[in-house]
Amino acid sequence: MFVPCVEPAPELTGFTLLMPAVSVGNVGQLAIDLIISTLNMFKVGYFYTDCLVPMVGNNPYATTEENSTELSINTEVYSLPSRKLVALQLRSIFIKYKSKSFCEKLLSWVKNSNCARVIVLSSSHSYHRSDLQLRSTPFRYLLTPSMQKSVQNKIKSLNWEEMEKSQCIPGISVGEYSIISFVCCSCCREIPMAVLLKFVSEGDNIPDALGLVEYLNEWLQIIKPCMDDSTVSALPWKIPSSWRLLFGSGLPPALF
């Protein structure tokens, strides 16, 4: 399923795989966009699959007029060997009844690539929150047993809140392969996996994506705050050039 576009093929042993869940407000995908753009990760391959709706577009991370004409497709893999990070970006939805097949093939690729762990960035509907959840942070995490063993001390030091046991689990859907099924499948294959999520509502979800990557950054320390300027509170995430058209191209002046 994975087709490399660099020579030699990327060596991913010991890498951390970051990937989105296709969920509320596309928050996970926006968060992965921020990570790829900020770290200037380079494309190392793509997935050739019939499990997702086909799409093609211009380079979403273009920095010059020359590289803006490069093409991107529905499922691409980006890497940053210096940080041992690899990012999978999903840009389209699953074809009905094929999400399970895709996820099983993806986990086989993760296992064969010897990736050290998988971190899924996701979101869940705000209206799913219980009264108790409404009185606490909108962020939650979920760990597989193998991931729990390796990171539980770090997670405890962050004072994060684990996802409560309930039916309101991120990405769950009726009659489809959910993220929980994905997590369970990773448990069977003994693949360390974490799900980080934020409760959100549909709308302008850029602030939610920024919040989610900063939540992840508390753990992985992907980037560090600017220490030169004490007035800067936010981390310097780089907005991709493609986000200029996130809500369309604006109203035509002829309307007025």
Burial class (CB in 10 A: 0-12, 13-18, 19+), 255: exposed
User: For position 31, what pLDDT does the model report?
Assistant: 97
The 10 Å Cβ neighbour count of residue 37 is 20
What pTM was estimated for this model as a whole?
0.88
Instruction: Determine contact, residues 83/12, Cβ cutoff 8 Å.
Output: no
Run of H or E including 118: strand 117-125
Paired with 117 in beta bridges are 16
Which DSSP state fits 61?
Answer: T
The upper half-sphere exposure of residue 233, i.e. CA atoms within 13 Å in the direction of its Cβ, equals: 1
**CATH hierarchy code of domain 11-41+94-165+175-245:** 3.40.50.10900
| 82 pLDDT more than 80 | yes
Report residue 74's pLDDT band, with 50, 70 and 90 as the boundaries: very high
3-class state of residue 157 by DSSP: helix
Peptide bond into 225 cis (omega under 30): no
Residue range 154-209, pLDDT digits in tens: 998 999 998 876 544 444 443 345 777 788 888 888 899 999 999 999 989 999 99
Residue range 111-135, pLDDT digits in tens: 999 999 999 999 999 888 877 778 8
**178: nearest Cα among 102, 249, 100:** 100
The upper half-sphere exposure of residue 70, i.e. CA atoms within 13 Å in the direction of its Cβ, equals: 14
User: What percentage of the chain exceeds 90 in pLDDT?
Assistant: 54
3-class state of residue 192 by DSSP: coil
